[in-house]
Amino acid sequence: MNQLGYFDPIDKEKDADFKTDEEQATVGINLKVAERGRQQISFNGGLSGIGGSFFGLDYSTNNLLGRGEVLSLQLAAGNRQKSVQFSFTEPYIRNRPITAGFSVFAFTQKFFGEGTLLSQNVNAIQGAVGNQFDFFNVSEENLFTRDSYGASVFASAPLSEFYRKRAFTQFSRVGLSYQFSQSSVKDPRVNQAGSSSASFIPVIYSQPKILTSRITGTFTYDTRNGSVDPTQGRELSVGMALAGLAGDVRTYAPQFRTPSFFAMRRKKSEHPEVFGFRLIAATVGSFALSNKVRNSNSLAFVDGIPIFERFFLGDEFTIRGYNVRSITPVTPLDTFVTSRNVVIASNPRERQFRLPDCPRRWQTSVSLPSQWQQLRQPAAFVHIDRWRYPIAWNFEYRIPLISDKVSAALFTDVGSAFNLRGKKDQFFNSNFLADQPFLGTVGVISCARSPLGAAFVSLTALAACNGSQQLAFTGSNALVMQGPRFVTSDQLLERH
């Protein structure tokens, strides 16, 4: 009864009156209960490293038609995130304890793109690398937008509906849910036609519109004496999510968690001191990649797994005291730069000579030149790991201070997200980027042939300093050409 959440906490010693009928071999129970308020409205708000400043409103009715129906509406709005979710749950189907329901949701989030630091947009750069004030006050027109929306249906029932009624089956439930969702990413508004080039933000990776169809099966064994702040009992939950019946994403993700609670002091009190711990473990993998995911050419997918479905720890629900999604494996990322449509001219009004695409020996991990008037394409490959496993242990000792309204808690969290084995490297290319602002963000490179020992990054400098040491290189950090051909240092000396 306490697990239902429909009534105030029930004390079996005070609220239950047992009457035994020996002739009928039955026991009658008169139970005194006080129904909790049906209507619940809560407000929340604050600052978040992901959501920015936000405000939320949650409304729910826990006993809509007097039979435990639950209807809820959740709204959240902020300068970085907006979301809405509506759900309805029917706890009894045909007078049997079979729960079924549905939910619909929409979510939008604004974030800094990886090309922000390659732009000349001062407001966006300050927001990305500045202090918290800059972060929260950057203009929304400089941010990329991820939109997600979808719907789900779900059902669950006690295990005793399928097997003989025993203590284990009565405390166990099996469930099945299906969700269909769509996710897409929009470029910032400053990139629209007619916008100033000084505010343009390069688009490094373009995520295609992704459809996800997922079915999830769950098993739960729950003996806790309350759904909120229990004082005793334990829960064992096992689930398996499988995406791939339709849509573009094909993944599997088993999960396991087991929270347990023990009354330690004042055990007979209504509000004892409680020790609780929780273990969480999970993994995710992919199979039979769809063409859209395989050809996405983006870190939005790593080995076919969407970045938002991989496991990260660090928040108030996993490892407290760490930034959101800050605990995750680190993998090496090697980058190099290629070019196309290369032209050169000592003066834009003079004849321009088209050169072949950048030779591989000139490809480098730094950026290319402004005076070559070309488009650049940073490319990279990343050593990826197929499996990502999060494991977290949470320990907490809760001490009630004022009834059940105010409590103090001592806690310790231990955990990590890690990989067990790797897979072959993953290659991807960015969109082609114009010379500026791509080149102006890199700075200088070491160059022994330059009078100052360094040169501003350009294809000219890369060719002379990191490429062929035979090319003539002047004190003004320029190459020398005769017609469509470069002049070597020896040829230049012969002419002088």
Which pLDDT band holds residue 236 (cuts at 50, 70, 90)?
very high
74-88 average pLDDT score: 89
Of 201, 200, 79, 77, residue with least CA distance to 138? 79
Give me the residue spans of the domains in the chain.
37-204, 219-322+387-428, 440-495
User: pLDDT at position 361, please?
Assistant: 40
User: pLDDT at position 372, please?
Assistant: 33
- Rounded CA separation 3/5 (Å): 5
Which pLDDT band holds residue 360 (cuts at 50, 70, 90)?
very low
Q: Tens digit of pLDDT for each residue in 361-381?
A: 433 333 333 333 333 344 444
239-250 average pLDDT score: 91
Of 31, 32, 29, 11, residue with least CA distance to 20? 29
Percent of the chain with pLDDT over 70: 72
User: pLDDT at position 359, please?
Assistant: 44
User: pLDDT at position 439, please?
Assistant: 59
Q: How would DSSP label each residue in 178-213?
A: EEEEEEEEE--GGGSTT--TTT-------PPPEEEE
397's tokens: 């000792």
Q: Tens digit of pLDDT for each residue in 285-343?
A: 888 888 888 877 666 777 788 877 888 888 778 888 887 777 877 767 666 666 666 65
CA 106 to centroid of chain Cα atoms: 16
- Rounded CA separation 336/432 (Å): 13
Mean confidence (pLDDT) of the chain:
77
Q: Tens digit of pLDDT for each residue in 396-443?
A: 999 998 877 788 999 999 988 887 766 667 776 666 666 655 655 556
Of 204, 219, 48, 202, residue with least CA distance to 136? 48
- Rounded CA separation 202/434 (Å): 8
With vertex at residue 368, the alpha carbon angle to CA 427 and CA 469, rounded to the nearest 5 degrees, is 105
**Residue 293: in which H helix or E strand, if any?**
helix 291-294
Q: Tens digit of pLDDT for each residue in 39-53?
A: 778 887 776 656 667
Q: What is the dihedral of CA 301, 306, 307, 310, to 10 degrees?
A: -120
- Which of the two residues, 8 and 318, has the higher pLDDT score? 318
Rounded CA Rg of the chain: 31
Backbone angles phi, psi at 78, to 5 degrees: -160, -175
- Rounded CA separation 345/484 (Å): 10
User: pLDDT at position 167, please?
Assistant: 84
**In this model, does residue 146 exceed pLDDT 60?**
yes
SS3 464: helix
100-105 average pLDDT score: 96
Residue matched to tokens 């071999």: 25
CA 34 to centroid of chain Cα atoms: 42
- Rounded CA separation 82/52 (Å): 11
**Which amino acid is located at 122 in the chain?**
V
The class of domain 219-322+387-428 in CATH terms is: mainly beta
CA atoms within 13 A on the CB side of 467: 22
Which pLDDT band holds residue 150 (cuts at 50, 70, 90)?
very high
- Please enumerate in sequence order all residues whose Cβ is within 8 A of that of 304, keeping only pairs 6 or more positions apart, or say none: 249, 250, 251, 286, 287, 289, 293, 294
Cβ proximity of 446 and 454 under 8 Å: yes
User: Picking from 195-199, 233-237, 245-249, 487-491, which range would have the lowest pLDDT averaged per residue?
Assistant: 195-199
Of 351, 343, 335, residue with least CA distance to 427? 335
